[in-house]
Every structure is written in C-alpha cells, then in structure tokens.
Amino acid sequence: MTKYEIAKKTLEQLNQFYPAGLYEWLFQYRKSKYNKLVQLESGIDEVMLNGTEDEMKDILDEYWSFHKSCIEDFSNSYEAKSKLNYARKKLNEKRINAWLFYT
C-alpha cells in the first residue's frame, strides 16, 4: 500500500465516528489539544512528502489515538453540548482573518 492509500483508508475510517464540531470545540475550549492536532496534521503532510510507508503508519497511529482521546473528551463535555455554536463562530473568525491576511 502506498502512503496515500494508507492515509486515505485511515482518514475514511476515522470519519465514520468523527463528531461534527470537534475541531471548533477543541479550538475554543481545549487549545492545547487543537494545537497538537494541527501539529500532527503537519507531520502527516511532511511524511506524505518525504517519509516512508512505515513512518506514515506510525504518525497515523498517533493521530488516530489522539483523536480517540479528543472525541471522548468532547463527548463528555458540557461545553460541547451547550456552547458549540459559539466555538464554531470563533474558529470561523480565525479562518476568515487568516484568509484575509494571505490575500
């Protein structure tokens, strides 16, 4: 299996139980976990460009495990149930500001 196929299969499987709003909630209420996910995603990109299949498996395993802990935290959180719309608004504002900065 190629690195691309490994990543695609893993992300498709993760998507099956991925809760809507997780990223926005992490951004607003668990900033260190949000930053860790962004860091892991950058690592996946780097391995895709320059790594081996075994390195891809290793980083995707870490990514998968970290997501599982984030999803569990999200599922048990008061903020996820009551303040998700606010968290989405804040992350969207950040994305718009970043887009405006680069255009």
What is the tens place of the pLDDT at every residue in 4-57?
999 999 999 998 888 888 888 898 889 999 999 999 999 999 999 999 999 999
Domain extent for 40 = 3-102
SS3 label, residue 19: coil
SS3 label, residue 100: helix
Q: How confident is the model at residue 102 (pLDDT cuts 50, 70, 90)?
A: low
Give the pLDDT of residue 13: 92
Say what the pTM is: 0.74
> What is the total count of domains within the chain?
1
